[in-house]
Amino acid sequence: MRRKLRVLFAAFEAVPFMKTGGLGDVGGSLPQALRAAGCECRVIIPKFMTIPEEYKSKMTHVTDFYVSLGWRNVYCGIEKLTHKGVVYYFVDNEYYFNRERAYGYFDDGERVAYFSKAVVECLQYLPDFKCDVLHCNDWHTALAPVFLREFYQGLPLYENVKTVFSVHNLKFQGQMSDYVLGDILGLWGIPAAANQLRFDERSINFMKGALLYSDILSTVSRTYAEEIKTPFFGEHMDGIFRDRQSVLYGIMNGIDTAGWDPAADPMLPFNYSAADMSGKARCKAALQEELGLEVNPNIPLVVMIGRLTEQKGMDLVQRVLGEILDKDIEVAVLGTGDKQYEDMLSYYAWERRGRCAASVRFDEALSHRMYAGADMLLMPSLFEPCGLSQMIAMRYGTLPVVRETGGLKDSVVPYNQYTGEGTGFSFANYNAHEMMFTLLNAAEVFRTAPGTWSKLMENAMSTDFSWDRAAREYLAVYQLTHPEVEPWRGKKDSADEAPEAESAE
């Protein structure tokens, strides 16, 4: 049978309805790209109070029912809105979701359990959508695969539903007192479930449940998928990742290539493209001027944009920044985070005026000007599941200097002086001087081999970081769960006309 696969993408965030981090971008971009790739993808998120009124007012009521949660029986309304061609469902319950923020409440465990149960329960009430794949994301939806198998497995409608669970952030796993097991999850009397959710004598772990119950697991880069099988990266789950490595996939996120486009970016003083880079030189001069750095095209300008934390390699920077600044290199940092790093950067910006600039704040517009105006982006992370900044930098022809971990390793091709290939520079060990020498080497190439540098910029700018690539990889993974369905091969723009849901070709 040849038809589109029907995927329900469940998450707590999706742009433009809710965003607190990268997950929101995934929820906003991936479903659209999946549709274009030939898949019927719909999204389900909570109906948060903070969703802008312009969207809320357009939602229509689909259905309502009650969800059992331990001893509770809780109302659930499902509302619907089509946005940019994608159908979004919203789980409506004012008690749980009529709050200022998405997370950070004493009853988050109960709220996410409710959402996960509602997602599974609603599969039988969506009039025109018969789900093949339930794609859950992070700990907020981790219980859905558990509930599906423990409470719904026997029902014919659910038999064919396969589950994919994606880890975007392994730090937050939903670790709760085991009291929750009976009181909220209603799983006390099911020893298999209780055992699989158990973390230690006193606590259970929602994400552990998803990692054991889901048919397929994924995370946000191939290298990170390898790394989390080790104790250092695995956050206590490495044993499960090792056991289940045959169903564990690494798929790099994309970036919004229309929003991050140096040829059309309205936040840049000058636009440019690979065909005509003159605008980039002018952006550099404008940025040097703006940040109080010496305006000189021949001095390499290195930027860092992101959270100032140990994860981002800030202790390496702290160790050698003084030495780097001695070498006729300009360094400009935009970010907020741990106070010790903020203070350290402010100190160097004062002590090395004209060579170093620190903007300790969140500033979206400045970040655009920095991605465009810089020659290099330094990102020496201790670990980096995927990382966006390095991809954005490459799109702007700013060469990344990265540590070879997670998504940094997968997205940056290190410069090879013998073949001339590459899209940036990288080093392997978490060592300040290794980082410094890699950066100095890059600066040397910048100064002495402008032809090579131009070629590297061209390579970086032509790399495909679109969501289309990610969507094709997700689709291939979904297809593994339903080998009986022949992939839909409609042309990209004819996909919308393709028969939906049941029909076969």
- CA within 13 Å, CB half, 62: 23
| For ligand ADP, the closer CB: 199 or 467 | 467
| For ligand ADP, the closer CB: 58 or 339 | 339
Give the tokens for residue 300.
Answer: 């390499």
Minimum gap (Å) between residue 387 Cβ and ligand ADP: 4
> DSSP label at 496?
G
Cα gap 384→147, rounded to integer Å = 31
Minimum gap (Å) between residue 222 Cβ and ligand ADP: 16
CA of 344: how far to CAs of 17, 232, 315, in Å?
37, 28, 10
The alpha-carbon radius of gyration of the chain (Å, integer) is: 24
| For ligand ADP, the closer CB: 193 or 392 | 392
Cα gap 246→266, rounded to integer Å = 45
Question: Which single residue is written with the structure tokens 């021949």?
Answer: 298
Cα gap 86→79, rounded to integer Å = 14
| For ligand ADP, the closer CB: 63 or 309 | 309
Q: What are phi and psi of 84, to 5 degrees?
A: 50, 40
Alpha helices by DSSP H, listed for 85-190, are 94-97, 108-122, 143-147, 156-159, 179-183
| For ligand ADP, the closer CB: 92 or 410 | 410
CA of 62: how far to CAs of 32, 128, 156, in Å?
22, 11, 22
Minimum gap (Å) between residue 452 Cβ and ligand ADP: 27
Minimum gap (Å) between residue 365 Cβ and ligand ADP: 8
Q: What are phi and psi of 250, to 5 degrees?
A: -115, 120
Cα gap 263→395, rounded to integer Å = 10
Minimum gap (Å) between residue 105 Cβ and ligand ADP: 22
| For ligand ADP, the closer CB: 148 or 412 | 412
| DSSP codes of every residue in 421-480 | --SBEEE-SS-HHHHHHHHHHHHHHHHH-HHHHHHHHHHHHTS---HHHHHHHHHHHHHH
Minimum gap (Å) between residue 19 Cβ and ligand ADP: 11
| For ligand ADP, the closer CB: 28 or 306 | 306
Minimum gap (Å) between residue 61 Cβ and ligand ADP: 35
Minimum gap (Å) between residue 364 Cβ and ligand ADP: 5
CB distance 474 to 251 below 8 Å: yes
> Which helix H or strand E contains 24, and what residues bound it?
helix 22-37
**SS3 of 313, please?**
coil
Cα gap 481→474, rounded to integer Å = 11
Minimum gap (Å) between residue 21 Cβ and ligand ADP: 6
Cα gap 314→478, rounded to integer Å = 38
| For ligand ADP, the closer CB: 392 or 413 | 392
| For ligand ADP, the closer CB: 78 or 345 | 345
| For ligand ADP, the closer CB: 123 or 268 | 268
Minimum gap (Å) between residue 13 Cβ and ligand ADP: 13
Q: What residue ranges bind ligand ADP (CB under 6 A)?
A: 21-22, 305-307, 334-336, 362-364, 367, 387-389, 392
CB distance 119 to 147 below 8 Å: no
| For ligand ADP, the closer CB: 209 or 306 | 306
Minimum gap (Å) between residue 335 Cβ and ligand ADP: 4
> DSSP label at 275?
T
